[in-house]
Structure 1
Amino acid sequence: MSDELKISAEKRTEFGKGAARRIRRADKVPAVLYGHGTDPVHLSLPGHDTMLALRHTNAVLTLDVEGEEHLALAKDVQRDPVRRFIEHVDLVIVRKGEKVVVDVTVHVEGEAAMETFVSVELTELSVEAEATNIPEVITVSVEGLEAGTQITAGQLELPQGVSLAIDAEALVINITQAVSEAALEAELAEAEAEAGIEQDEPEAPAEEPAEAESTEE
């Protein structure tokens, strides 16, 4: 479940790309805080503390904004695609006991039956939970399950106080029969034959020239 982490934040009055770059150069993170009918507040957060606090999705932070505290949910975290440092954070004000809808990662554990393939159709599950009680992951066990087994959202065991925010019939896990390499090759050959693609015959190894018979004089 999500932990409350306290972070000191500063209000900022400079905006735009240039201001954001200056904030990042100072090892801080630009952020915006909004929600519950309040005007958006633009903030800068300490870089290292923010990085540690946002290691997990749906982190709930206690923000100390110049002496005034706010409980906030990290709703959108933008990261540099290469270096992965945090570029910007959207924070939504929440209240203790308030329920929010969030996407939680689906974690698969266990080994399905032999010669099966486990396909995760939904890598994230939309759920409703108390803002201070959001699960980090939803765990699904596939231990020993046979080909043909399907697990829907409604079949998942959710933590107490957490409910689905999507259709209960949504397919989460699909277990099928694994295809052997020989079957794959046969399928490919059949598809190529239907498309009129002819495979080149392997070239026969060149015959070595016969050695000339030696003649004695």
Structure 2
Amino acid sequence: MENIPSRAISRLTVAIGITAIVSIVSLILFFIFGGFWGPLNDLTIAIFALLSAVLAWMLHPFFRIQSPRLSCFMLIVAIAGAVITCIGSALVMSGTTSWQLAGSVNALGFAFIGIWLLAFNYHARLTDVFPQTLTRLGQISGALSALGLLNVLAIFGMVDWQSDVSWLLYLAQFGGLGQILLLVWTVWLGRVILKSTRAMQHK
């Protein structure tokens, strides 16, 4: 793992895990109490996306060795996904749109991140750096998250109410499962890298 900043990534995955926990707790509290817990959840979603883009940037040196041209394009895709997700959170926090349309924008952003995740793990599986089960999970997570691309239909159709959602947009909601698996993959990645770093230190 010479081309991977092990300690920085391990700390980043911890930060992502903490952000996800705060996001889940704030969502639950929002449904119970309402109030500022909703905006806090929206903020943590944006932070989760931004940290995922940072992770993509940190893993870029490794990805670049496997596929120089594709890796650069995929990094841009991941960063674009984080920006789109932040826009979605800003839309609902500012009251510009309802949670339905803003959620579609968020899901579209995570779809872009999912495309990076799918490409990264597809190439990572060809090496012996990461466990095959980890790269397989990453590909599944990326593929599911990519279903969020269907949210383009909601965004350009200005679908702002649940009753207006078509079956394609219901299918796009499976992208949320991809985001959960993204969290699992990220935490697992951090543990794998930390374990590898400790093993090298003991040699």
With the length of structure 2 as denominator, give the TM-score of the two structures: 0.21
With the length of structure 1 as denominator, give the TM-score of the two structures: 0.20
Who wins on radius of gyration, i.e. which is larger? 1
State the structure with bigger RCO (CA 8 A, min sep 6), 1 or 2.
2
